[in-house]
Amino acid sequence: MIMTIDVGNTNITVGVFKNDEVAANFRMTTKMPRTSDEYGMLLITLLEQNDIRHGDVEDAIIASVVPNVMHALEGAVVKYFGIRPIVIEPGTKTGIKVVTENPRQIGADRIVDAAAAYELYGGPVLVLDFGTATTYDLVDGSGAFVSGVTAPGIRISAKALWEDAAKLPEIEILKPESILAKETISSMQAGLVYGQIGQTEYIIKHMIEESEMEGVRVVATGGLGRIIASETDLIDVYDPNLTLKGMNLIYKKQNRKSGRIRI
The CATH number covering residue 162 comes to 3.30.420.40
pLDDT of residue 136: 98
Catalytic residue among 37, 51, 56, 109: 109
C-alpha distance from residue 228 to each of 150, 223, 248 (Å): 16, 10, 26
Of 28, 55, 87, the one marking the end of a domain is: 87
pLDDT of residue 262: 56
Residues 226 and 149 in one domain: yes
- Does the residue 252 lie in any domain? no
Residues 68 and 116 in one domain: no
Residues 160 and 64 in one domain: no
Of 36, 63, 87, the one marking the end of a domain is: 87
pLDDT of residue 231: 93
Contact between 63 and 263 under an 8 Å Cβ cutoff? The reply is no
Residues 103 and 225 in one domain: yes
Domain count, the chain: 2
Domain that holds residue 47: 2-87
Radius of gyration of the chain (CA): 19
- Does the residue 254 lie in any domain? no
- Does the residue 261 lie in any domain? no
Residues 218 and 126 in one domain: yes
Residues 232 and 128 in one domain: yes
Of 87, 118, 150, the one marking the end of a domain is: 87
Residue 125's nearest CA partner among 214, 254, 16, 242 is 214
Contacts of 230 (CB under 8 A, 6+ apart): 238
109 catalytic residue (yes or no): yes
C-alpha distance from residue 15 to each of 57, 83, 126, 172 (Å): 11, 16, 24, 26
> pLDDT tens digits for the chain (263 residues)?
999 999 999 899 999 999 889 999 999 999 888 999 999 999 999 999 999 998 999 999 999 999 999 999 999 999 999 999 999 998 899 999 998 888 888 899 999 999 999 999 999 999 999 988 999 999 999 999 999 999 999 989 988 988 888 788 888 888 998 999 999 999 999 999 999 999 999 999 999 999 999 999 999 999 889 999 999 999 999 999 999 999 999 999 998 876 777 54
- Does the residue 199 lie in any domain? yes
49 three-state secondary structure: helix
How far is C-alpha 128 from the geometric centre of its chain's CA atoms? 9
C-alpha distance from residue 191 to each of 187, 218, 226 (Å): 6, 24, 17
Residues 36 and 146 in one domain: no
Phi-psi domain of 91 (left: phi exceeds 0; alpha: psi -120 through 50; beta: other)? left
Residues 82 and 101 in one domain: no
- Does the residue 257 lie in any domain? no
Contacts of 66 (CB under 8 A, 6+ apart): 7, 8, 9, 30
How far is C-alpha 249 from the geometric centre of its chain's CA atoms? 15
- Does the residue 256 lie in any domain? no
In angstroms, the CA 3 to CA 56 distance is 10
Contact between 2 and 14 under an 8 Å Cβ cutoff? The reply is no
Residue 215's nearest CA partner among 140, 143, 104, 153 is 140
In angstroms, the CA 131 to CA 40 distance is 25
Residues 167 and 138 in one domain: yes
- Does the residue 36 lie in any domain? yes
Residues 113 and 237 in one domain: yes
- Does the residue 262 lie in any domain? no
Residues 234 and 137 in one domain: yes
Residues 139 and 66 in one domain: no
pLDDT of residue 167: 80
